[in-house]
Chain A
Amino acid sequence: MPTSRNPSVETWGRRGPEVVRRNVEAVDSALANLHEVTVPDEVTANRRRPPTVPEDAPDFVQKVTRLLMEGQGDKLPVSAFPIDGTWPTGTSQYEKRSIAQDIPIWESDLCVQCNFCAMICPHTAIVSKVFEPEAGKGAPDTFEAVPETHTPELVGLDYRIQVAPEDCTGCGLCVEVCPAKDRTQPKRKAINMRPLEDHREAEASNLAFLRSVPDVPRERIPRDFKSLPLLIPLFEYSGACAGCGETPYIRLLTQLLGDRLLLANATGCTSIYGGNLPTTPYTVNADGRGPTWNNSLFEDAAELGLGMRMGLNKLVGRARQLLEDMKSNLPAALYRDLTGPCATLDETAMAARREAVGRLRDWLADQQGPEVNELASLADELCPKSVWVIGGDGWAYDIGYGGLDHALASGQNLKLLVLDTEVYSNTGGQQSKATPMGAVAKFAAAGKETRKKDLGLLAMSYGHVYVAQIAMQSHSNQASKALQEAENYDGPALIIAHSPCIAHGYDLLHSPAQQKRAVDSWAWPLYRFDPRRTPEGLPPLQLDSVRQKVPMKAYMQEEARFRMLELRDPQRYEQLAAAASDAANEQRELYMQLAGIHFEPHERLNNPDTGAEHHD
């Protein structure tokens, strides 16, 4: 029997006898199974250590990134680094970690092509892709594809689900959400976790082949939530925790906005996995374009984004002015193509604009003068861009709240995405103003006794801010809709995204079900507040959650952050659970009134005429 001097008892005694017993058993069994390994006098192995980065990796990755990955960064001279603080993107693909024991393997006969797996994957380690059947020729033998049969717009294309075997973390979320079952053996789904070693080699070459297959034009992919995952993701293989609830939102954003995305990122988890050197998960499309990512500080992300937005506005204004000055010389069609409407989500218009900018460059090449040179340097600004600010609740609710409020008040076309884990996740689970009542967190060890701040309601009070609360692990349809509405809105938008996190204390494999409980209990109501509805006489607030379908406790009891309080102080837990339930009821009553408000249709008096061109 373990004694009090036993380190297992000292370390784990507080967790109870079973934990001690298993630890002691593990130690004993390790000792019992020690065997001596004879070290030969000379090296006998004929295998070599594989290269840190593949031989086909770009020059910078070979010369700089590789050394950093090998822990040899001190050997690099300062001159090896870019002089302006920029850093190449698209490099996480060269950092193959192979940390999963089991990876998802596709069973094409069962697949219903819903793309739920690709939608939820935190690491873009499972993707779905459609492509011209012709492009699949010359694929490895194990590369299987089936005709796309579930989306009318994509008829004639081939479809494949592909795992990135060496990038998968084995979290299992993809299998968890897979709805397709074998009727005679329902535990066999359309994707199943299988040993990495059995599939690694084949799937790695299948992945390499799939990445070389040309994407179909973006305008062909419908923008409904089931088809969105077919758009090329420009955020992949990040270093986030297995099962992370934040990263899918960012990946989806890169799919929606592709190469026109400018990100201002608050420091926190998002900046650590988003810009953690030496490799970066943000990547580029086949044209070499992708999101531009920027991180300044924890507290100033909104201001940074606002500055980026206003800087862009200046550049666009100057480019347009130059264009106007040259109008008499410019071919009329070219002028028209460069000045017509072009929304960031309009793929056809965006493709035409890029093509027109190319023609402008050709035309400028034959002209002379300083203004010509200036317009040549600004020509790309004629393609609209979208500025998004990303951060966690520590930034948005607490430390960066003043800036966030300032950015919303500015009225600028700026989008803010709050990945709300309800604690400071990156620094180890300190409470924020987003922490829900009753949750145990650092600095709230006895359970937080005040309500979660209603950040959305504060933003709604401006009247000109698009606001949505979303939860994509369980409600990806509403989340996809909100992200697109926010992007289409010509003004500030705030999206608050429920983000399951290891700091909640449960197996994140269950996050879709647990998030659904959060929504159904009104711990996390879903809604969209769209100022465009007010002039139409419609209430701007639309509730996507109406009824409370499960009791608050049904949600709370599933997470250790609440359970810890229940075990330590059941009475206080009961009080806070009841108070949390009351708070949810009151919020629901208030929201239902707001959602039922009636306006007479009217013109917005202060609606500035922004001209024909939006979103740039």
Chain B
Amino acid sequence: MTDLTTQWLGLNLCSPLVVGASPLTDDLDALKACVDAGAGAVVMHSLFEEQLVAEQMAAHRFIDSRINTDAEARSFFPESDVFAMGSSSYLKRLEQLQSSLDVPVIASLNGISPGGWTQHARELEEAGASAIELNLYDLATDPSDTAITLEQRQLKVVRSVVQQVSIPVSVKLSPFYSALPSFVAGLEAAGAHGLVLFNRFYQPDMDLDELELSREVVLSTNAELPVRLHAMAMLFNRTGLEMAASGGVHTGDDAAKAILSGATVVQVVSALLAEGPSALARITDEMTQRLSAMGYTSLVEARGALSLDNAPNARTWERLNYARLLQGWQSMR
């Protein structure tokens, strides 16, 4: 049997399979079941910069701005000094998960502007987070915003979060970087400890009847896995950062592939949302059987075995263009 213990961001995990950031954060029973099914760690859903600001501003706008504006009534809601409009409900949840679960709980932060919100990282540490997963997402729509300014802004965010805390910080990226290895080197220099590849988004869709945009949560499929495998295979041995696969892992083979391309841990979400916590036990069993059958006794042996550096036909990782693939097919005959 393959030994599943692993180290991620300096934390000792009993398994590389980790519950990724998701609405499961709000379901303690489901998380407990996932841990019982063998999850190595749990990542909470993100504390969103945007949401924190929006929550505060909404309260300000809909409660405070109505105070002393009406001749008939001084206000329209009870006095609300005790209401938490900041991070406190998230922190309470974090403390609860930390005390109820036997595995490390990783908190998640999401924001794009290097501003006051990064101080929440310290709150997360104080509330007992084992590590922080920092989710970077910045959509460039301004033509004067170059890739360099955008990346530098992101590196600044990473630096400011890392400076706030002594616990490790991993960075979750979107798949859209023109020079990923160089940016990853920047992240390493900024003090990040790990990479999570990649973020999935609420993809806006179109409502053709109403002629407007719609937004729905669509669960992943393992068709989304290859782009992750590719990125990890390219980065393995080229960065000092540990890597987590996130997105598209639904079977034990998916998880094995992620490890073979270089992942230290493998996050699972959609399979859990679709199937329930038992999916974690299934994926663990399938992965263990596969890796054992392949003869691996530990995850270290398997990690990166099919990366760009180690794969026998490693050029395939680079031959992504259709025409070149055809050429390759001919020459291989």
Q: Which residues of A contact B177 (CB under 8 A)?
A: none
Most chain A CB atoms below 10 A, which of B57, B70, B77: B77
Do A17 and B73 have beta carbons less than 8 Å apart?
no
Task: Pick the interface stretch among A76-84, A287-295, A561-569.
Answer: A561-569
Q: Which residues of B contact A272 (CB under 8 A)?
A: 72
Contacting B89 at CB < 8 Å: which of A183, A561, A567?
A: A567
Cα–Cα, bound, A444→B78 (Å) = 8
Task: Pick the interface stretch among A162-170, A412-420, A423-431, A544-552.
Answer: A423-431
Most chain A CB atoms below 10 A, which of B56, B83, B119: B83
Cα–Cα, bound, A230→B74 (Å) = 38
Given contacts A16-B85, A570-B89, contact A428 B73 (CB under 8 A): yes
Q: Which residues of A contact B52 (CB under 8 A)?
A: 16, 18
Q: Which residues of A contact B82 (CB under 8 A)?
A: 568
Task: Pick the interface stretch among B16-24, B60-68, B247-255, B295-303.
Answer: B60-68
Q: Which residues of A contact B73 (CB under 8 A)?
A: 426-429
Instruction: Output the least CB separation between A504 and chain B (Å).
Output: 9
Q: Mark A19-39, 1 if CB is under 8 A from B, else 0.
A: 101100000000000000000
Contact size class for A?
A: 35 or more
Do A15 and B211 have beta carbons less than 8 Å apart?
no
Q: Which residues of A contact B70 (CB under 8 A)?
A: 428
Q: Which residues of B contact A570 (CB under 8 A)?
A: 89, 92
Instruction: Output the least CB separation between A428 and chain B (Å).
Output: 3
Report the nearest A residue to B72, measured CB to CB.
A426
* B12 interfacial contact with A, CB 8 Å: no
Contacting B66 at CB < 8 Å: which of A183, A442, A445, A502?
A: A502
Do A445 and B78 have beta carbons less than 8 Å apart?
yes
Do A560 and B78 have beta carbons less than 8 Å apart?
no
Report the nearest A residue to B87, measured CB to CB.
A16
Cα–Cα, bound, A506→B89 (Å) = 21
Instruction: Mark out the residues of chain A between 565 and 580 whose CB falls within 8 Å of any chain B CB in the assembled complex.
Output: 566-568, 570
Most chain A CB atoms below 10 A, which of B75, B84, B92: B84
Do B62 and A18 have beta carbons less than 8 Å apart?
no
* B312 interfacial contact with A, CB 8 Å: no
Q: Mark A370-386, 1 if CB is under 8 A from B, else 0.
A: 00000000000000000
Cα–Cα, bound, A612→B66 (Å) = 53
Do A15 and B77 have beta carbons less than 8 Å apart?
no
* A493 interfacial contact with B, CB 8 Å: no
Q: Which residues of A contact B62 (CB under 8 A)?
A: 502, 505-507, 560
Instruction: Output the least CB separation between B312 and chain A (Å).
Output: 53
Instruction: Output the least CB separation between A128 and chain B (Å).
Output: 23
Cα–Cα, bound, A561→B55 (Å) = 13
Cα–Cα, bound, A537→B59 (Å) = 52
Q: Which residues of B contact A181 (CB under 8 A)?
A: 211
Cα–Cα, bound, A441→B73 (Å) = 14
Q: Which residues of B contact A428 (CB under 8 A)?
A: 70, 72-76
Report the nearest B residue to A508, measured CB to CB.
B62
Instruction: Output the least CB separation between B49 and chain A (Å).
Output: 9
Most chain B CB atoms below 10 A, which of A16, A426, A442: A16
* B275 interfacial contact with A, CB 8 Å: no
* B86 interfacial contact with A, CB 8 Å: yes
* A360 interfacial contact with B, CB 8 Å: no
Do A503 and B81 have beta carbons less than 8 Å apart?
no
Q: Which residues of B contact A183 (CB under 8 A)?
A: 211
Q: Which residues of A contact B313 (CB under 8 A)?
A: none
* B80 interfacial contact with A, CB 8 Å: yes
* B326 interfacial contact with A, CB 8 Å: no
Q: Which residues of B contact A425 (CB under 8 A)?
A: 76
Most chain B CB atoms below 10 A, which of A15, A429, A503, A507: A15
* B53 interfacial contact with A, CB 8 Å: yes
Q: Mark B195-221, 1 if CB is under 8 A from A, else 0.
A: 000000000000000011000000000
Q: Which residues of B contact A505 (CB under 8 A)?
A: 62-63, 76-77
* A14 interfacial contact with B, CB 8 Å: yes
* A462 interfacial contact with B, CB 8 Å: no
Contacting A429 at CB < 8 Å: which of B59, B77, B116?
A: B77
Instruction: Mark out the residues of chain A between 504 and 558 whose CB falls within 8 Å of any chain B CB in the assembled complex.
Output: 505-507
* B147 interfacial contact with A, CB 8 Å: no
Instruction: Output the least CB separation between B197 and chain A (Å).
Output: 31
Do B64 and A21 have beta carbons less than 8 Å apart?
no
* B11 interfacial contact with A, CB 8 Å: no
Cα–Cα, bound, A14→B58 (Å) = 13
Report the nearest B residue to A241, measured CB to CB.
B70
Do A568 and B84 have beta carbons less than 8 Å apart?
yes
* A12 interfacial contact with B, CB 8 Å: yes
Q: Which residues of B contact A284 (CB under 8 A)?
A: none
Report the nearest A residue to B93, measured CB to CB.
A570
Do A429 and B76 have beta carbons less than 8 Å apart?
yes
Q: Mark A403-440, 1 if CB is under 8 A from B, else 0.
A: 00000000000000000000001111100000000001
* A186 interfacial contact with B, CB 8 Å: yes
Q: Which residues of B contact A15 (CB under 8 A)?
A: 56, 59-60, 64, 85
Cα–Cα, bound, A16→B53 (Å) = 9
Do A564 and B77 have beta carbons less than 8 Å apart?
yes
Q: Which residues of B contact A503 (CB under 8 A)?
A: 76-77
Cα–Cα, bound, A429→B62 (Å) = 13
* Interface set of A (CB-CB < 8 Å, partner B): 12, 14-19, 21-22, 181, 183, 186, 272, 425-429, 440-442, 444-445, 502-503, 505-507, 560-561, 564, 566-568, 570
17 contacts between A and B (CB under 8 A): A14-B83, A17-B119, A18-B52, A18-B116, A18-B117, A19-B60, A186-B212, A272-B72, A428-B72, A429-B78, A441-B78, A442-B77, A445-B78, A506-B62, A560-B59, A564-B83, A567-B89
19 other contacts beyond A15-B64, A507-B61, with CB at 8 A cut-off? A12-B60, A14-B83, A15-B56, A16-B56, A19-B57, A19-B59, A19-B85, A181-B211, A426-B73, A427-B73, A428-B75, A440-B77, A441-B77, A441-B78, A502-B62, A503-B76, A505-B63, A561-B77, A564-B59
What 8 A-B pairs have minimum CB-CB distances, sorted nearest first? A428-B73, A16-B56, A445-B78, A429-B76, A16-B86, A503-B76, A505-B62, A186-B211
